[in-house]
Amino acid sequence: MLGHLKAEDFINLMEGAEAPTAHKIHLDSCARCREVWESLKPLYAGVTSLDGDVPEPDWVEFRSSVRNELLSRSVQRQTVVRRWTGWTVRPAVAWALSLLLAVGIPTGAFVWHLQKENRAFKALRARQPLPASEMIEGTEKAVFDDMIELSDSEQAQFQQLLEAAQSGTHAYND
């Protein structure tokens, strides 16, 4: 004798597949299987009714969306790569940088050399004695230096002024 129907047998029955005659006879004679079958019928009807409500995906939109997403990720990867190496790998930038280094370094060295020579010249000039016309007058050093360079007549004149100052006439304040 045939046993109770299995789950797959019920599914086959619900989907209208060609069921064996033995299954149909059993379903008519077995109250338990018939009860299961009756309870499954509305469920099956509900499930099959959903088929019409589920809309068909827009496969064109889906492909476009996937393509956009893939492109977006690709662009993001390129941005990250450029952030680290972008400037150095671009030929135009590489040439410009090379030109800048090739011209800039010798020019900088030349200017530095000129400034160094200029500093050395200034230092040399500072060490050289200034011409008499450039000497700073009025300093204590210059007073005595100028004094000993006076001629005899000028010395006599200067001494007279000194004596006059001592005598209280203060001629030097005139």
Partner 1 sequence: MTKLAIALALALVSSANALSQQRLQTPTLEESVVDFYVAEFHRVVNVDPEVFVKAAPIIKEFIRARFDISARRQETLEQLRMLVNRGNSNEEDMKRAIRDLDKADADIHANQERFLSSIDPLLNTRQQGRVRIFQQVADQAMRQMLNKVQNARSANK
Q: Which residues bind partner 1 (CB under 8 A)?
A: 127-129, 131, 137-138, 140-141, 143-150, 154-159, 161-163, 165-166, 171-173
Residue 172 near residue 161 (C-beta atoms within 8 A): yes
CB of 123 to partner 1, least distance (A): 13
Q: Give the residue with the Cβ less far from partner 1, 93 or 143.
A: 143
Q: Give the residue with the Cβ less far from partner 1, 72 or 155.
A: 155
CB of 170 to partner 1, least distance (A): 8
Neighbours of 129 (CB within 10 A): 7
CB of 122 to partner 1, least distance (A): 16
CB of 130 to partner 1, least distance (A): 10
| CB within 8 Å of 32: residues ≥ 6 apart | 4
Q: Give the residue with the Cβ less far from partner 1, 117 or 163.
A: 163
Q: Give the tokens for residue 35.
A: 């009860």
Distance between CA atoms of residues 91 and 89, nearest Å? 6
The one-letter code for the residue type at 93 is: V
Helices (H) and strands (E) in the chain, counts: 7, 0
Q: Give the residue with the Cβ less far from partner 1, 21 or 166.
A: 166
